[in-house]
Amino acid sequence: EPEVTQTPSHQVTQMGQEVILRCVPISNHLYFYWYRQILGQKVEFLVSFYNNEISEKSEIFDDQFSVERPDGSNFTLKIRSTKLEDSAMYFCASSETAYTQYFGPGTRLTVL
Amino acid sequence: QKEVEQNSGPLSVPEGAIASLNCTYSDRGSQSFFWYRQYSGKSPELIMFIYSNGDKEDGRFTAQLNKASQYVSLLIRDSQPSDSATYLCAVNSLSNQFYFGTGTSLTVIP
């Protein structure tokens, strides 16, 4: 069964460093999303991406964040100048329509 | 601020019973409504979605939507120990952003 994959599973970085989180969506899906979940808190929408551009973004998704689809398969989230409060689980999701989102296993980001 | 509210639980039901999970939302413009299951340390897994008022059934799961009351629920019939997880309610707003509740922790007791 096709699935969304994410790498790395765990990323440790120093405050102020840049990180890139990678996702491979399901191949025939057209909609891509990034979410984050701080430990013990709710899942928070960051951004949605369709037709090679951002379709929606939340207030959390400020200039520190960017997304890219560098090739036909990868979908990346870049966080510039990481802060302690960026420590969270980051989930990528993809969907064929706007309804059935499939989540990847997540990348745990730890900022020291 | 668009909010999705859920009772955090924990909700405990005996095996074979019906588990009832509730969710309210604040944005009347919300278009579609989702229930996810999240096991500890894992990613959310979509159970079902609903966008019309009324009931929608899928196997042991029934989602109910009442837009006038801004209320969504999920019923799990014949609950199994494997259903023990956190259940997340999510809504898709008119701006096509997704808002999640904090989740309800369900424990099914064998």
Q: Mean pLDDT across chain A, nearest whole number?
A: 94
Low-confidence ranges of chain B (pLDDT < 70): 1
Q: What is the pLDDT of residue A70?
A: 85
Tell me the percentage of chain A whose pLDDT exceeds 90.
83
The DSSP call for residue A9 is S
Of residues A71 and A104, the one with the higher pLDDT is: A104
Task: Give the angle subtended at the CA of A21 by the CAs of A33 and A25, to the nearest 5°.
Answer: 45
DSSP β-bridge partners for residue B73: B22, B64
Q: According to the model, what pLDDT value does residue B1 have?
A: 63
In which residue are the tokens 């510039």 written? Answer: A80
Mutate to test the interface with B, among A39, A43, A58 (most CBs of B within 10 A): A43
A75-90 average pLDDT score: 97
**For residues B89 and B6, what is the distance between their CA atoms, to the nearest angstrom?**
8
> What's the full length of chain B, in residues?
110
Instruction: Compute the distance between CA of residue A12 and CA of residue A108 in angstroms, rounded to an integer.
Output: 8
Residue A41, pLDDT > 70, answer yes
**Which chain A positions have a beta carbon within 8 Å of B92's beta carbon?**
98
pLDDT, tens only, A8-33? 999 999 999 999 999 999 998 989 99
Which pLDDT score is estimated for B44? Answer: 96
CB B11 within 8 A of CB B104: yes
pLDDT in tens, A49-64: 998 899 999 999 999 9
Secondary structure element (H or E) that encloses residue B86, with its range: strand B85-92
> Which residues of chain B make contact with A101, given a CB cutoff of 8 A?
34, 46
What's B97's DSSP letter?
A: -
Comparing alpha-carbon positions, the chain B residue that sits nearest to A101 is B46
Q: Does an H or E element contain A56, and which?
A: strand A53-57
